[in-house]
A and B are shown apart, each in its own frame.
Chain A
Amino acid sequence: MSDETTLEGTVAALRAAFDAAFAAPSQGARRDLVPLLALRAGGAELAVRVLESAGLLPARVVVPVPSRRPEVLGVCGHRGAVLPVFSLARLLGLPDAGEAPRWMLLAGREERVALAFEAIEGHVLVPPSALQRAAGEGLGHLPEIAELGGAGRPVVSLPSVLRAITEHRPGE
């Protein structure tokens, strides 16, 4: 009985929140909050600023191609274009977790690349105060630490990663 009461209450709360979203005046997007995507790559719990990426898509079909760079996993098709797919963990210097990548982040504007990782752990909005600069030198592609759930999570800088990719290209 109590479970049914709880479920009915939950349904009522959801309905009320949904209705309230239409009833409340439009305030636009809250600029004071930073959307983060919590993810896991190479067994490490990381975060990415959502607005730094160009899109999120599942890593359905990745065609392996020969390359001297171990970070390159292959290529994939996206909206009529062929994108190179890189392993985010290998780009960050993390070891392989033995788990196949399931998701890809799109980065770059004109020269888009896909960064594959294992899992999405959530989408959160945090105030800017929850983002702290990493102590010490830190990793080159992980300049910040986000405070999520009482624990610090390194935040990947996609422009840094993209630069590393594009800067390395003339050497190939």
Chain B
Amino acid sequence: MERRLTFSQKLALGFALVVVVALAIAGVAVLSLRETVASKDAVIELAARRLVSAERLNAMSFRKAAEARAYVMTNDARYLEAMRTARGEMRRVLDELLAQEHDDALRRLLDEVARVEGEHGAAVDAILADAPREKLEVSAARLERDVRPLRERLNAAVETYIARQRELLEARRRQSTEAAADASRVVVVLSVAGVALAAALAILLGRTLSRQIAGAVRHVETSSAELKAAAGQQATGAKQQASAMAEITTTINELLATSRQISESSQRVASIASDTASAARTGDHAVQRSQEAVGGIRRQVELIVDHMLDLGRKSQHIGGVVEIINELAEQTNILAINATIEAAGAGEAGKRFQVVAEEIRKLADRVAGSTKDIRVLVDEVRAAVNTTVMATESGSKAAEAGARQFAELAAAFSQIARLVGSTTDSAREIELSTKQQATAVEQVNEAIANVAQATREAEASSGQSLQTASELAAMSRDLARLVQKRDAA
């Protein structure tokens, strides 16, 4: 708890303790004086009031006796009333004393006074009641005989009470004096204790502060040494950092030049890609036209195939017709043979008919020979048609394959156009990014220059820190010497 307090707090706490002790001493002194004064005042006031009341009892007793005698002598009712007033006053004073008194002995004395006063009053009242009817001498004699001893006893009792009260007053006065003396002794003892406490606090504070200051000075010495070493390292690091910054600046400049070259290259790439896209579009159009031409060729080839197939069908029809002719020739030949046979059977009359039949047979043979030639020709035509159909079908397939290849070529050109467009966009993005990168590199270069400046300033600052650490070490040594001297003293 003490270690957390500052020096000023500790000093303030010590002085506060001393002040508190002084205030306590002063308070005790004041309280003792007040107590003493109050005790004296109480003794004086109470004793005086009670003495006055006792004296008033005595006075009331004499007054009551005087008023009683006056009534006896004059029978004047005023004296009787005055006597009763005096008696009432005496009873009131007596009651007050009884109420204020706590001492048993004094209360017994007061009870005795009251009892005697009662007897005295009763005796007086009896005499005063008979006084108007008796003679003065008789009443006086009865007073002298009956009342006087009681009055003496009353006076004696009152005197005894007064004497006792005085003794008590004296005793209390002595008691008060002793209390005042005790308070004076307490004040003296407290003063001595306060001085001792202040001295002890001063010694304790001095030792504590010296020890802590010495420890702090050692810490300061150690820290200043470490600070000195750190400042040295910082200075070395700042130099290395400055050299690294110079190298970084050179590299950044090279990077900037490279970025500009990349930007120019990407610009050229964008231009070339744009030209390539234009050429690809032109090629795409050419391919589309070629595709249309191939489509036309394919349609023509299909038309040729249709015509050839039609020609094949017609040649087949011709073959059928030739077969009919051949059949007819064969039948004609058979009929001619039969006619020859019949003519031969007819004898001489059938000779001329046999000649005609022979001519018919020859004609049928010629027709059969011609139909053979026609069949050969028709077969050749059909073979040529089949060959042509196959060739045209191959051509049609080749045209279709060419059309498909042209379609693939067109798709490839479209894809090339798209890719080249994408390449153009990418090249433009690269150009834009490279320009942004060049701007960023310039900003980085500027920041690096600022950092280099800061590094140089840090180097200077580290030198200043080194000097400050040296001065701090010297100051800590001086402070250590001061503390050690004070400890030695």
Contacts and interface: CB of A to CB of B under 8 A. Distances in A.
A120 B329 CA distance: 13
Residues of B contacting A: mostly? helix
Main secondary structure of the interface of A (DSSP, over half): mixed
B59 interface: no
9 contacts: A14-B366, A18-B363, A26-B352, A28-B351, A29-B351, A51-B340, A57-B338, A120-B334, A123-B361
Interface in B300-340: 333-334, 337-338, 340
Given A21-B359, A29-B343, A123-B361, 9 more contacts: A26-B355, A28-B352, A29-B354, A51-B340, A51-B344, A53-B341, A55-B338, A55-B341, A56-B337
Interface in A28-43: 28-29, 35, 37
Contacts of A27: 355
A144 B74 CA distance: 243
Interface residues of A, number: 20
Contacts of B365: 123
Nearest to A52: B341
B371 to A, nearest CB: 13
Nearest to B370: A10
Nearest to A21: B359
Contacts of B366: 14
B358 interface: yes
A55 B338 CA distance: 5
B340 A35 contact: yes
Interface in A2-38: 10, 14, 18, 21, 26-29, 35, 37
A58 B351 CA distance: 25
B355 A29 contact: yes
The 7 residue pairs across chains A and B that have the minimum distance between CB atoms: A29-B354, A28-B351, A51-B344, A56-B337, A29-B351, A55-B338, A21-B359
A107 to B, nearest CB: 11
Contacts of B338: 55-57
Contacts of B343: 29
A50 interface: yes
Interface string A111-151: 00000000010010000000000000000000000000000
A57 B365 CA distance: 17
Interface in A49-77: 50-51, 53-58
Nearest to A13: B366
Nearest to A58: B334
A123 B354 contact: no
Contacts of A57: 334, 338
Contact of A28 (B340, B341, B355, B361): B355
A51 B340 CA distance: 8
B355 to A, nearest CB: 6
B337 A50 contact: yes
Nearest to B337: A56
B352 A51 contact: no
B355 A37 contact: no
Contacts of B345: 54
A28 B350 CA distance: 10
Interface string B347-381: 00001101100110101011000100000000000
A164 to B, nearest CB: 22
Given A14-B366, A21-B359, A123-B333, A50 B354 contact: no
Nearest to B359: A21
Contacts of A51: 340-341, 344
Nearest to A29: B354
Contact of B334 (A10, A26, A56): A56
A161 B479 CA distance: 170
A110 B157 CA distance: 227
Contacts of B340: 35, 50-51
A115 B333 CA distance: 19
B379 to A, nearest CB: 15
Nearest to A10: B370
